[in-house]
Amino acid sequence: MIYIAFFVSVFGCFAQSDTLQNPYFKSYNDKITASVYYLDTSNSFQIASDKQEPKVYLDLVPNRREQIGFNLNYKIIDVTIGFAPKFLGGNTGDSHSKHFNFNTRFYYKKWMQSFTFINQKGFYVKDNNITAQLPDMRTTKIGGSTAYIFNDNFSFKTLVSQNEWQTKSSGSFIPTFSFYYTNIDLNSPDTTPGDIYVFTLAPSYFYNFVISDRVLIGAGIALGAGINDVDGDTSALYQADLNLKLAYNQDRFFAFASLNATSFDQDEKVDPRLNDNIVTFKISAGYRFDTPKKVKEVYDKANEKIGL
């Protein structure tokens, strides 16, 4: 699959006014950033039941997970071109399998708003003994999270983008409210689509450990709870998030590897249970260019007309 995502974030212009002056991090917002990446991402599900022996645990895994691509970023403009070739080991199933994943974040002072859209077609189901294709199964997820970053000296952008770099070790308590809607459709005659709504509140803590001027390790963990609604049936829900990043940075060249995992598990009293997992592993390397004068002039003129 080939997809081209072009996104201009109006809210992205609302950066903290002290970003350039804060000695705890450095901004590269005036540079054009180009990078190549390898991405392994999926939204998988697990059906668990305790009513029968032996207990049943079925994993529903999308056929298309791995991507390679190119990213170009300047200020609030972000262009990504990527594709998921079948020769990558994580991409199975027939040519009708699809995967589209879009994520972005907006910042306003200490607030951060994320947005996620995932559309997948083509799954396989497996347990300890069986693996079977579900080529027509489709899932669509839309939602995001709202977070408040308490510490002014902590750069959350260092974890999620390459337009900023933490120069002194710092961490922050970050409470997060999340909402997701998921539609699951097996596309078979004897089933109907299912709607899942998730609301959670998860206290979290993130820390950027600066090893040297050029190397840091970023980490974050969140544990929370909330409400899960599956076709009108409401139950308790538990959330666990893990974020890790190892990054190398120069003013021009950068490279990093990151892992982000989010798990939503229904209460064990619900039988059968449908657990929801979003896992993303990314390796990327890139280069920052000085912005050509003509590009800057065109951008500034467009910015003035829009009124940002």
**Which amino acid would we find at residue 192?**
T
Over residues 206-235, the mean pLDDT reads: 93
Note the pLDDT of residue 260.
93
Whether residue 308 is predicted with pLDDT greater than 60 in this model: the reply is no
Sort strands 170-173 and 204-210 into parallel, antiparallel or unpaired: antiparallel
The rounded distance, in Å, linking the Cα atoms of 61 and 256 is: 26
Note the pLDDT of residue 215.
96
The pLDDT-based confidence of 140 (bands split at 50, 70, 90) is very high
Higher pLDDT, 14 or 217: 217
Sort strands 131-148 and 25-27 into parallel, antiparallel or unpaired: unpaired
The pLDDT-based confidence of 306 (bands split at 50, 70, 90) is low
The average confidence (pLDDT) of the chain is 84
- What whole-number percentage of the chain has pLDDT above 90? 40
The rounded distance, in Å, linking the Cα atoms of 14 and 67 is: 31
pLDDT digit string, tens, across residues 6-62: 444 444 444 444 444 688 989 888 888 999 999 888 888 888 887 777 777 888 888
| DSSP annotation string for the chain | -EEEEEEE-SGGG---TTTTT-TTEEE-TTEEEEEEEEEEEEEEEEEEE-SSSSPEEEEEEES--EEEEEEEEETTEEEEEEE--TTSTT--S-TT-EEEEEEEEEEETTEEEEEEEEEEEEEEEE-SS-EEEEEEEEEEEEEEEEEE---TT--THHHH-SSEEE-S-EEEE--EEEEEEEEEE---TT---EEEEEEEEE-EEEEEEE-SSSEEEEEEEEEEEEEEEETTEEEEEEEEEEEEEEEEE-SSEEEEEEEEEEEEEE-TTSSSEEEEEEEEEEEEEEEEEEPPHHHHHHHHHHHHHHT-
Over residues 220-242, the mean pLDDT reads: 92
The pLDDT-based confidence of 162 (bands split at 50, 70, 90) is confident
CA angle 93, 3, 88 (to 5 degrees): 40
pLDDT digit string, tens, across residues 85-120: 777 766 676 667 888 888 788 888 899 998 889 888
Buried (b) or exposed (e) across 208-244, using 16+ Cβ within 10 A? bebeeeeebebbbebebebebebeeeeeebbbebebb
Higher pLDDT, 26 or 191: 26
